[in-house]
Amino acid sequence: MDLHRATVTANEQIMPETHVLDLASPGLAKAARPGQFVHIRCGPGWDPILRRPMSIFKIRPDGISVMVRAVGEGSTIIASSPLDSELDVLGPLGKPFTLDPSARRLAMIGGGYGVAPLVALAVEALGKGCEVVLMVGAATADYVFPADELPTDVEYAIATDDGTLGHKGFVTELLPRYLDWCDAVFACGPTPMLEAVARITRPARYGVAGAMRSEKPVQLSMEQHMGCAMGVCLGCVVMTRKGYQRVCRDGPVFPADTLVWEGSRA
Ligand SMILES: Cc1cc2nc3c(=O)[nH]c(=O)nc-3n(C[C@H](O)[C@H](O)[C@H](O)COP(=O)(O)OP(=O)(O)OC[C@H]3O[C@@H](n4cnc5c(N)ncnc54)[C@H](O)[C@@H]3O)c2cc1C
Ligand code: FES
């Protein structure tokens, strides 16, 4: 993990309120792994004082890209960074996704801007000869992640809350279609979505008929509000079977069976 001065070489709006920023920084490009994130300072002033975490969306030879949805003050400042401006970027941070070499068919499921780290993972997995299906959920067709941001070899499945594109309903309702096919599952998005992924994949992990089926690894990338992003402030903890763990340092990627969901036994 290092502090980088990264120049904004492109800033393109790809969906309402959502921008992709290309950041030039060979140091970040060299160190970054899919599933990790960067902590970006919001402009040159001290308000807001805290940096904002953003997943690594693409890894290029000369830098990385982040996909930023402007939901509040900090993300709006970052999303509106002008071309050639410099961003103060800490990273890469956190533990990446793990690609087991024996896994050949990967199911990925993303909600909202949770698709960002899965795109980096899909690119890496295709490069290793894996087959990838990416399921993405959004509120309406306008907020569906554009297919042209994905490598063409990725099978893309869409769900919208209002049915304006793809399956009408939760993106997690698409997952059972791919459970028998895939060797591993990866997800990133809002906590209720991740909890649903953990619940749906449970029979696949532990066997519908006892121990007849082999365990299927499921990795979930958690999102929490962050202070330091370096493991010091304990502002980002989640409950796991090993006790509280820090999303910024021990995650953001956790095996699904280590997480304990509030008020549930998922
Ligand atoms: C590991 C990690 C990776 C992330 N990757 C991305 C990414 O690739 N692209 C992206 O657009 N966003 C990402 N986020 C979320 C992003 O950091 C927050 O949206 C941002 O911090 C909001 O800051 P703000 O000042 O704009 O909003 P605030 O004014 O602080 O909040 C505005 C709204 O966003 C909600 N919010 C704030 N932080 C989070 C959060 N961490 N998770 C969910 N909701 C939140 C608040 O509850 C509120 O409703 C990531 C967060 C984490 C922890
Ligand atoms: S944000 Fe400070 S410990 Fe994770």
- 22-50 residue pLDDT tens: 999 999 999 999 999 999 999 888 889 99
Q: CB neighbours of 117 closer than 8 A, spacing ≥ 6?
A: 34, 35, 36, 37, 55, 56, 57, 97, 188, 221
CA-to-CA distance for 224 and 247, rounded, in angstroms? 7
CA-to-CA distance for 175 and 109, rounded, in angstroms? 8
The pLDDT-based confidence of 263 (bands split at 50, 70, 90) is: low
**CA of residue 143 relative to chain centroid, distance:** 16
Place of tokens 């103060």: 88
Of 230, 240, 245, 254, the one to substitute when testing ligand 2's pocket (max ligand atoms within 8 A of C-beta) is 230
The predicted structure's pLDDT at residue 47:
85
Tokens of 141: 């067709």
| Lowest-pLDDT range of 26-35, 110-119, 200-209 | 200-209
Tokens of 159: 């769900």
pLDDT over threshold 70, residue 205: no
Q: Which amino acid is at 49?
A: I
The predicted structure's pLDDT at residue 35:
98
Residue 43 or 182, more confident: 182
pLDDT over threshold 60, residue 232: yes
The predicted structure's pLDDT at residue 159:
97
Closest ligand to residue 92's CA? 1
pLDDT over threshold 50, residue 195: yes
pLDDT over threshold 90, residue 225: yes
CA of 186 to the centre of ligand 2 (A): 23
Q: How far is CA 14 from each of CA 77, 107, 113, 145, rounded to the nearest angstrom?
A: 17, 24, 12, 8
pLDDT over threshold 80, residue 203: no
**Shortest CA distance to 33 belongs to which of 68, 64, 79?**
64
CA of 61 to the centre of ligand 2 (A): 29
Model pLDDT for residues 135-157, shown as the tens digit of each residue: 999 999 999 999 999 999 999 99
Length of the chain, please? 266
- Name the residue at shortest CA distance from atom 32 of ligand 1: 72
The pLDDT-based confidence of 78 (bands split at 50, 70, 90) is: very high
The pLDDT-based confidence of 249 (bands split at 50, 70, 90) is: very high
